[in-house]
Amino acid sequence: MTPTELLRRLYDTAVAAALPAQVLAVHLPPPPKGRTLVLGAGKAGGSMAAAVEALWPADAPLSGLVITRYDHVPPGGPAQRRIEVVEAAHPVPDAAGLAASARMLALVQAFQPGPDDLVLCLISGGGSALLSLPAPGLTLGDKQAVNKALLHSGAAIDEMNCVRKHLSAIKGGRLAQACGAAPLLSLLISDVPGDDPAVIASGPTVPDPSTCADALAVLSRHRIALPAVAQAALESGAWETPKPGDPLFAQHEVRMIATPQMSLDAAAAEARRLGFAAHVLSDEIEGESHTVGQVHAALARAVARRGMPFARPCVILSGGETTVTVRADTPRPLGRGGRAGEFLLGCALALRAEPEVWALAADTDGIDGVESNAGALVTPDTLARAAALGLSAAEHLDRHDSFGFFEALGDLVVTGPTYTNVNDFRALLIR
């Protein structure tokens, strides 16, 4: 097995460990005496709905609506779906997500759940953009503009979700609020550092500890302007979300069915099975993507040159959610790429062609940013091959054009949608 084949094997193992078909069954409750309404949103929404359909008894009442990203509905499935799956845009919301979010609230109101019924919520990363119903007085255009500004600002995921919750009519516990006193079970696939249910998909079914003042502070810190109606509503506290301790959450249960750590542990176990020592740094690494890449490269060089802090051969694994900040002075035209590619450009430059180090970084949902690749690979001769083609890794990094760089080298990792999402996956092999 070549080094790149090994790294790809570890990535595939990490993804498989988070597939709903593999992990959902042990968390699914028996059907209630009454009816079951399924609601949900996220990049794994289609596959989570399919897993529920496959496991739910045919004679038990089941209906619902789940929103997922375009092209993220897994092939196959039952001929007659009991759970409707709608596709919408991510990461910037669109009209399809808006309409589906409004329908979701209407379904809850029409369902009028009672004590013998169950509301089952399937929540995964990406659900925040897909649940795009704005607070009263805001338009979809307003939300799109704020979302784009947040994505370019370098804001951390918890900061972005704090703002999104307070500009929403459905996130930040408001979907649970619409369910009233009905028993509610949320099954979550985590894509966030720390696995905080209030951050995953902006926490539509859990209490929100953040405040309107917190949202204003995030917007001020990143110099993002709001429409006047939103500014006034946040300043007055009119758009405050349900808080911890609210009795409306008394019958609500949350179960985490897949997490970044579970996937990293699965990849580490596979590496050890193949004869390599494996070290998981953390599933919560955040920071500017190219800087995180430089730090990983420094660690790999220390291992390769001095056998410290780990002995060779070994695999170093990490996860989390890094950021890419597009500054006002960024050279134009802007390139294409996402967090994984940016990590690898920083890593390749800092490795300086270290002869015994290979790296893979990819998003476990199969999409790095908004491109067609999950991520890419760095090899010991990456910089030499780039130079032979007249490519500068530093120039591509300045323009945030990791996709163009690794595409030219033939080193993109392309998987298509994986139908799950436990965020960034990074693996470095030191022989």
pLDDT of residue 271: 98
Does 77 have pLDDT greater than 80? Answer: no
By C-alpha distance, which of 359, 375, 355 is closest to 367? Answer: 375
* pLDDT more than 70, % of the chain: 99
Q: Which residues pair with 120 in a beta bridge?
A: 38, 185
pLDDT of residue 79: 59
- Contacts with 38 (C-beta within 8 Å, 6 or more apart), sequence order: 49, 52, 62, 63, 64, 65, 66, 83, 120, 121, 122
Tokens of 427: 């693996």
Does 26 have pLDDT greater than 70? Answer: yes
Tokens of 231: 């500014």
pLDDT digits (tens, 9 = 90+) for 344-391: 999 999 999 999 999 999 999 999 987 899 999 999 999 999 999 999
As a three-state string, the secondary structure of the chain is: CCHHHHHHHHHHHHHHCCCHHHHCHHHCCCCCCCCEEEEEECCCHHHHHHHHHHHCCCCCCEEEEEEEECCCCCCCCCCCCCEEEEEECCCCCCHHHHHHHHHHHHHHHHHCCCCCCEEEEEEECCHHHHCCCECCCCCHHHHHHHHHHHHHHCCCHHHHHHHHHHCECCCCCHHHHHHCCCCEEEEEECCCCCCCCCCHHHCCCCCCCCCHHHHHHHHHHCCCCCCHHHHHHHHHCCCCCCCCCCHHHCCEEEEEEECHHHHHHHHHHHHHHCCCEEEECCCCECCEHHHHHHHHHHHHHHHHHHCCCCCCCEEEEEEECCECCCCCCCCCCCCCCCHHHHHHHHHHHHHCCCCCEEEEEEECCCCCCCCCCCEEEECCCHHHHHHHCCCCHHHHHHCCCHHHHHHHHCCEECCCCCCCCCCEEEEEEEC
Tokens of 237: 């506290």
Q: Give the whole-angstrom CA distance, residue 315 versus residue 13.
A: 14
Does 49 have pLDDT greater than 90? Answer: yes
Confidence of residue 91 (pLDDT cuts 50, 70, 90): confident
The alpha carbon of residue 167 and the mean position of all alpha carbons in its chain are separated, in whole angstroms, by 20
Q: Mind listing the domains of the chain with CATH numbers?
A: 3-11+261-430 (3.40.1480.10), 20-258 (3.40.50.10180)
pLDDT digits (tens, 9 = 90+) for 94-115: 999 999 999 999 999 899 888 8
pLDDT digits (tens, 9 = 90+) for 260-287: 999 999 999 999 999 999 999 999 999 9
The amino acid at 76: G
pLDDT of residue 334: 79
The alpha carbon of residue 205 and the mean position of all alpha carbons in its chain are separated, in whole angstroms, by 17
pLDDT digits (tens, 9 = 90+) for 155-213: 888 898 899 999 999 999 999 999 887 899 999 999 988 899 999 999 999 999 999 99
pLDDT of residue 238: 94
Does 78 have pLDDT greater than 70? Answer: no
pLDDT digits (tens, 9 = 90+) for 133-161: 999 999 989 988 998 899 888 888 889 88
Q: Contact 314/356 with Cβ under 8 angstroms? A: no
Adjacency order of strands within the sheet including 252-258 = 83-88, 62-69, 36-41, 118-124, 184-189, 252-258
- Residue 396's alpha-carbon distances to 8, 283, 323, 358, in angstroms, are 24, 27, 17, 20
Does 428 have pLDDT greater than 70? Answer: yes
pLDDT of residue 3: 98
- Contacts with 7 (C-beta within 8 Å, 6 or more apart), sequence order: 358, 359, 360, 377, 427, 429
Mean pLDDT of the chain: 94
What mean pLDDT is predicted for residues 334-345? 93
